[in-house]
């Protein structure tokens, strides 16, 4: 079974530029999560989708971050404009229903460096 695919693996941009990350969850997984993990910290939920609807985006900095999952499958996370403090690993995860009932599977992450 293919895992959660993310791209790119690494990205370096200058502050005030924009960047987009892509995630392809495991086939059939209705729930998709985007997490931000700053070095030395645990992952922080940015947004959770159930199919193509948003379940929780309370911690998403909506002035600069946006995410979509138009057909309930792939998802993109965008930052515009980026700030230095956005340097982190961005993790995508998916699960069949939600993590209450099943495991969450994580992608390899995208390491973003903003200079």
Partner 1 sequence: KNEVEQSPQNLTAQEGEFITINCSYSVGISALHWLQQHPGGGIVSLFMLSSGKKKHGRLIATINIQEKHSSLHITASHPRDSAVYICAVANTGNQFYFGTGTSLTVIP
Whether omega before 59 lies within 30 degrees of 0, making that bond cis, reads no
- Determine, following the binding rule CB under 8 A, whether residue 42 of this chain makes contact with partner 1: yes
114, β-bridge pairs: 13
CA angle, 79 as apex, 17 and 29 as ends, to 5°?
145
Length of the chain: 115
Nearer to partner 1, 44 or 62 (CB): 44
Taking CB under 8 A as the criterion, the residue among 26, 45, 73, 96 binding partner 1 is: 45
| Residue pair 49/64 in contact by the 8 Å Cβ criterion | no
Task: Kindly state whether residue 76 participates in binding partner 1, applying the rule CB under 8 A.
Answer: no
C-alpha 70/C-alpha 19 separation (Å) is 18
The answer to whether 85 contacts partner 1 (rule: CB under 8 A) is no
Which of 1, 2, 4 has the alpha carbon at shortest distance from 105? 4
The total of other beta-carbon atoms located within 10 Å of residue 51's CB is 13
| Residue 106 Cβ vs partner 1, minimum distance, rounded to whole Å | 4
Q: Does 2 bind partner 1 (CB under 8 A)?
A: no
Instruction: From 15-23, 66-74, 78-86, 94-102, give the range in contact with partner 1 by CB under 8 A.
Output: 94-102
| Choices 16-24, 63-71, 72-80, 102-110; region in contact with partner 1 by CB under 8 A | 102-110
Q: Can you give the binding site for partner 1, defined by CB under 8 A? A: 9, 33, 37, 40-45, 55-56, 89, 91, 93, 98-109, 111
């Amino acid at each position: 079974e293919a895992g959660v695919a993310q791209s790119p693996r690494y990205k370096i941009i200058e502050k005030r530029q924009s960047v987009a990350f892509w995630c392809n969850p495991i086939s059939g997984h209705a729930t998709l999560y985007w997490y931000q993990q700053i070095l030395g910290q645990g992952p922080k939920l940015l947004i959770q989708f159930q199919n193509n609807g948003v379940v929780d985006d309370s911690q998403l900095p909506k002035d600069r971050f946006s995410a979509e999952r138009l057909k309930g499958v792939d998802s993109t996370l965008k930052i515009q404009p980026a700030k230095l403090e956005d340097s982190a690993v961005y993790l995508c995860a998916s699960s069949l229903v939600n993590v209450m009932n099943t495991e969450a599977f994580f992608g390899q992450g995208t390491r973003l460096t903003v200079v």
